[in-house]
Structure 1
Amino acid sequence: MSKISKFFKGNSNSSKKHGPTPQEAIHKLRETEEMLTKKQEYLEKRIEQELATAKKHGTKNKRAALQALKRKKRFEQQLSQIDGTLSTIEFQREALENANTNTEVLKNMSYAAKAISSAHENMDLDKIDSLMQDITEQQEIAQEISDAISRPAGFGEEFDEDELLAELEDLEQEDLDQHLVTAGGLPTVPSSSLPSRPASKKKVEVDEDMEQLAAWAS
């Protein structure tokens, strides 16, 4: 038998005997901790007093000094025992608190599980699958309708786009010609030749120099 099984079995036996609840046990342990803490404070004060008494008598009254030191030792032993007891009680209290927390967690988890079971009680998986299929089909139909609505109606698709562009160019050319005619017609090319450019004076002087050189050379 596992420790958990023994624990729950022990709890069932204790419940039959109407033992204390975890909350009651935790409360009692806290009261005990408070009492032992006060006892600690008392012993610490007594230890300080006995130490002061021993110092006061010293070697002048060895008997009284030794008795004070003996009492101090006993108080220190009691203080040490209380420290150990408090550690044990603290461990036991923490174990009870954890057990109480785990019990509440399990109780709430069981309550939630029952709620989930109740929520799923009237649910039929076959009906859910059928419903999801219907939803998927309706979504597909809606998508097809949206695609059909957004698709162009097809007007003009039987015409050649190149022919339409050529016709558009002809219309633009006709409009340009009409604009030129309205502005006064096309400009005419002049029939008479342009006047020749007179030779520069510098060129005439160069020709005369060349003639003089030619005459001298002959």
Structure 2
Amino acid sequence: MSFLGRLFGGKSDGAKQEQKVTTTLAIQKLRDTEEMLLKKQEHLEGLIKEQETIIRANGTKNKKIALAALKRKKRIEKQLETVEGTLTTLENQKDALENVNTNVEVLKNMGMAAKALKTVHSNMDTDKVEDLMDEVREQQQIAEEIVHVITDHSGYGQQIDEDDLLKELAEMEQEELDRQLLDAGGLPVAPQTDPRGATSSSSKSKDLDDELEALKQWAS
């Protein structure tokens, strides 16, 4: 059985059914292998420390033993480099698989969303939507016209001329002034005819003019 077959739990060539490898299973297998290699890395680091201890203890006393320990140390260091390189490769593969797994989930959810939109849009027709929008615009226009009719006060009567109002107001003020003069007493009411057209004597006209002048001064 190949290394990859053992790594991913593959079966022998004689097996009738091959186990399906998923990204989740592959990630789990990589984590298991990573854990095993980390333990081996720790073991090799311990062996290197042992060889260093032997080298320091026999460096000046027994060069043969120290040299043998140094050779073992170099050999173990090469094994350690291989393990560390394999750990780096596994880490990269694990990251790639996790990214693929995330992308698969994203694409799956996007596919579900696309199907949902398709289902919604299948019940909608562009012509029906246009008809609906035309109806909405028509009802908005009717509502605006109703508001215009309600707020338009021009139908409550003809517009009254302001000059007529001022003239009527002046007449009312004059009537009120005449009433006050009558209530005061002693002052004659101004005659309705033109004094200049009267046939009375000059002295009577003068008295009337004096009374009118007095009335004007009192009113002012």
SS of 1:19's equivalent?
Answer: coil
Q: Which residue of 2 aligns with 1:55?
A: 56
Deviation of 1:57 after TM superposition, in Å, equals 1.3
Determine whether 1:121 maps to 2:151: no
**3-state SS in 1 of match to 2:43:** helix
Take 1:177 and 1:88, find their aligned partners in 2: how far apart are those partners?
Answer: 118
Which residue type is aligned with residue 40 of structure 1?
Answer: Q
The aligned residue for residue 38 of structure 2 is 37
In 1, the alpha carbon distance for the partners of 2:57 and 2:177 equals: 132
Aligned-pair CA distance for 1:70: 1.5
What do residues 82-128 of structure 1 show as CA deviations (whole Å, max 9, x unaligned)?
11111111111111111122122222211111111111112121111
Partner AA of 2:85 in structure 1:
G
Q: Give the TM-score taking structure 1 as reference length.
A: 0.70
Return structure 1 stretches of 4+ with deviation > 4 angstroms.
172-186
What does residue 7 of structure 1 align with?
Answer: none
> 1:175: how far off?
4.3
Q: Tell me the residue number matched to 2:78.
A: 77
Alpha carbon RMSD of aligned pairs, Å? 2.6
Deviations 1:6-29 (A, max 9, x none): xxxxxxxxxx96531111111000
User: Displacement of 1:38 after TM fit?
Assistant: 1.4
**Amino acid in the other structure paired with 1:64:** I
- Residue of structure 1 in register with 2:133 after alignment: 132
C-alpha distance in structure 1 between counterparts of 2:73 and 2:184, whole Å: 132
Paired with 2:114 and 2:30, the residues of 1 have a C-alpha distance of 34
Q: For the residues of structure 1 that align with 2:23 and 2:129, how far apart are their CA atoms?
A: 46
Structure 1 residues without counterparts, runs of 5 or longer: 1-15, 189-218
For structure 2, the 5+ residue unaligned runs are 1-16, 188-213, 215-220
Give, in angstroms, the shift of residue 167 of structure 1: 2.4
Query: 1:27 and 1:34 mapped to 2: Cα distance?
Result: 11
Corresponding residue number in structure 2 for 1:144:
145
By relative contact order (CA 8 Å, sep 6+), the higher-ranking structure is 1
Equivalent residues in 2 for 1:89-100, closer than 5 Å: 89-100=90-101
CA distance in 1 between counterparts of 2:112 and 2:19 reads: 24
Q: How does 1:164-183 map to 2 (within 5 A)?
A: 164-172=165-173, 174-175=175-176
2:83 partner SS = helix
TM-score normalised by structure 2 residue count: 0.69
> Structure 1 173/45 Cα, relative in aligned 2: closer, same or farther at 3 Å?
farther
Distance in 2 (CA, whole Å) between partners of 1:62 and 1:159 is 131
